[in-house]
Amino acid sequence: MTYRLIVLCCLCLPTFRASAQMERTVYQVFEVDSIQTVTLDIVGFTYPELHVWAGNSILTEANIQVWDASPEIVSYLIEKGRYAFESEKTADALRVFTKIRKREDIKLPGMQKKCVEQTTIKVFVPDIYDWDPAEWTPEQTDKPKTLRRKIN
């Protein structure tokens, strides 16, 4: 009887699909040099966090979690720039913005439902900049944030 139960479990096991979570972290660096004003136009990420550091560049740390997707799918999404940032630099200003402004749902061929995706972002800024804490509240998540160089 035990033998039949084991065989039955082994036969049924492949029909159950496990819900796996893939997680990756992507980093990008933006040099600020003598930039006076930085605009962070980050959209599509769960509540961004601001961290101050003694560096001389801006570092973004995007944490990506996708359920029901293989590592290859997550790598493909990263390679295509789904979680990437770009920058535009003028004489005294830098704008860092989300490359893909609106992300479509992740739905793979043959799947009945879409993959669940959660993305969070941490932005590390040099301690030479001031910012308005009111811009970093949950209500301001997808709105641009401005950093201004401190006056010595």
Interval 35-62 mean pLDDT = 92
Report pLDDT digits (tens) over 75-127: 999 999 999 999 999 989 999 999 998 888 887 777 778 888 999 999 999 99
Please tell me whether residue 70 adopts helix, strand or coil conformation: coil
Match 């401005």 to its residue by tokens. Answer: 146
- Taking a C-beta distance cutoff of 8 angstroms, is the pair 152, 79 a contact? no
1, pLDDT greater than 60:
no
User: Which pLDDT band holds residue 15 (cuts at 50, 70, 90)?
Assistant: very low
Mean pLDDT along residues 55-63: 94
Domain parsing of the chain, residue ranges: 20-101+114-149
Buried b (16+ CB within 10 A) or exposed e, 41-68: bbebbeebebeeeeeeebbbebbbbbeb
This prediction has a pTM of 0.80
